[in-house]
């Protein structure tokens, strides 16, 4: 399955996997950090969809938002 995603942009496989890993890690870290920060500011809202659930949803919102910029 992974082969379906590589072979793009003229990079070597190691570079491709490197950028994959970096992208995944950065997206996850940024999502969780932003989620935790915002969850702190909005403490108490959306229970029981607050706390960790809300952090997860925020991460999803960021990932979808950034990804969707490839479309118009």
Partner 1 sequence: MIFVIVPLGKEAKEVRDWVVRVAMYTAASTLGAGLLAMLLGFIGHQFFLLSGITLPWVAGVLGIISILYALRELKILHLPVPQVGWQVPKSWMRRSRLEGNILYGLVLGAGVLTFIPYASFLVLLAWEFVAGAVSLKAAVLLGMLYGASRGLPAALGGISVLRGDYPLPLSEWIIARMGLWHAINGLALLLIGAYLLGSLVL
Binding footprint of partner 1 on the chain (CB under 8 A): 1, 4-6, 8-9, 19-20, 23-24, 27, 31, 34, 38, 42, 45-50, 52-54, 56-72
Distance CA 27, CA 32 (A): 9
- What is the nearest approach in angstroms of partner 1 to the Cβ of residue 58? 6
- What is the nearest approach in angstroms of partner 1 to the Cβ of residue 12? 15
Coil, strand or helix at 27: helix
Q: Give the CA count within 13 Å in the CB-facing half-sphere of 17.
A: 4
Please, which residue, 12 or 65, has the CB nearer to partner 1?
Answer: 65
Sign of the torsion angle spanned by Cα atoms 22, 28, 31, 33: negative
- What is the nearest approach in angstroms of partner 1 to the Cβ of residue 63? 5
């Amino acid at each position: 399955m992974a082969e379906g995603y590589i072979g793009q942009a003229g990079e070597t496989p190691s570079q491709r996997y490197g950028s994959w890993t970096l992208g995944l890690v950065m997206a996850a870290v940024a999502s969780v950090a932003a989620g935790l920060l915002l969850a702190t500011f909005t403490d108490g809202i959306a229970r029981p969809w607050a706390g960790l659930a809300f952090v997860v949803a925020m991460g999803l919102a960021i990932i979808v938002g950034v990804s969707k910029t490839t479309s118009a």
